[in-house]
């Protein structure tokens, strides 16, 4: 069974291992802000602070290396990675294994800490800084110049989302499956019911508690793909259940999964059966 699955599911291009669960912000465009499940926030909205042991993270890197993985690796999912003081060390460990460290941060931990900025710029190949606090395009450009100077030596990219979104300045905000519909997003809040989705083929996502998640919209591990404390990375990635999800989604079967049926991610290719993609507008953006 495992051998057969290996033939149909290629190796992931990116690996994300969430080292810890906390974030210092509560952004309107982020799914964790609305979580009350106990995965990231409790019923009362208090943060869940969890951490994957260092030995386990290094073990997962070793497993990925044994699978032949040499792509990008990050230590975040729905958390701020630099709240974990181990982060620069973990990036260096990934490099030792021939992988390419990638960071996505809101930058708050780096502010006013020049030595950490230098350490992060040396440890990471690519750094994406979320820029959320600006009122005009001119202010945004000034912030970008400042970050390029602070993190000189690394490839710097930006995820820019202003306080009022697309209404006042350049904004990269997009709808999310678990985020309420909001007029500030930069693109229409649509659902593509029968559109193919190949995104789960690209990344292997491991939550801080070891749960394998299907994609960046899968905050809660809704697909029951397994846990790294019970199975190896290879077993999880090439499992029959994961293969079935991949085959269904690449064939345009979003309606088969509750989360996918409400997902605003655009089609990643034409439907293989030649049918026209069905497009509808979401009503509330919450499942």
**What pLDDT, in 10s, does the model give residues 238-263?**
999 999 999 999 999 999 999 999 99
pLDDT band at residue 187 under the 50/70/90 scheme: confident
- Mean of the pLDDT values across residues 201-226? 97
Rounded to whole angstroms, how far apart are CA atoms 9 and 20?
A: 28
pLDDT band at residue 285 under the 50/70/90 scheme: low
* Residue 286 scores a pLDDT above 80: no
What average pLDDT is seen over the chain? 93
* Residue 1 scores a pLDDT above 90: no
Query: Are the CB atoms for 194 and 254 separated by under 8 Å?
Result: yes
The pTM of this model reads: 0.94
Which range (31-40, 63-72, 109-118, 159-168) has the least confidence?
159-168
Beta-carbon neighbour count of residue 126 at 10 Å?
15
Residue with tokens 């919209």: 217
Helix runs in the chain, H state only = 2-8, 54-66, 87-96, 114-123, 137-150, 233-237, 240-250, 258-261
Largest CA distance in the chain: 56
Contacts 24+ apart (CB under 8 A), 228-234: 228/56, 228/60, 229/56, 232/63, 233/60, 233/63, 233/64, 233/67, 233/204, 234/63, 234/66, 234/67
């Amino acid at each position: 069974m495992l051998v057969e699955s290996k033939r149909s599911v290629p190796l992931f291009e990116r690996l994300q291992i969430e080292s810890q669960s906390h974030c210092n912000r509560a952004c309107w465009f982020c799914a964790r802000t609305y979580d009350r499940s106990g995965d990231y926030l409790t019923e009362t909205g208090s943060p869940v602070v969890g951490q994957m042991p260092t030995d386990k993270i290094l073990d997962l890197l070793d497993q990925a290396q044994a699978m032949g993985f040499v792509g990008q690796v990050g230590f975040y999912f729905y958390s701020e990675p630099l709240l974990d003081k181990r982060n620069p060390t973990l990036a260096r460990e990934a490099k030792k294994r021939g992988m390419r460290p990638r960071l996505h941060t809101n930058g708050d931990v780096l502010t006013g800490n020049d030595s950490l900025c230098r350490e992060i710029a040396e440890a990471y190949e690519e750094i994406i800084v979320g820029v959320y606090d600006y009122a005009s395009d001119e202010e945004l450009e000034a912030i970008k110049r400042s970050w390029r100077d602070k993190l000189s030596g690394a490839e710097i990219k930006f995820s820019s989302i202003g306080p009022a979104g697309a209404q006042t300045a350049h904004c990269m905000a997009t709808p999310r499956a678990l985020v309420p519909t909001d007029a500030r997003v930069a693109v229409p809040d649509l659902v593509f019911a029968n559109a193919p989705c190949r995104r789960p083929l690209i990344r292997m996502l491991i939550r801080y508690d070891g749960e394998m998640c299907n994609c960046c919209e899968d905050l809660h591990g809704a697909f029951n793909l397994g846990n790294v404390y019970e199975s190896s990375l290879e077993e999880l990635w090439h499992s029959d259940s994961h293969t079935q999800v991949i085959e269904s989604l690449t064939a345009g079967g979003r309606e088969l999964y509750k989360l996918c049926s409400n997902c605003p991610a655009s089609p990643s290719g034409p439907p293989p059966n030649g049918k026209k993609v069905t497009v509808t507008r979401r009503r509330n953006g919450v499942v």
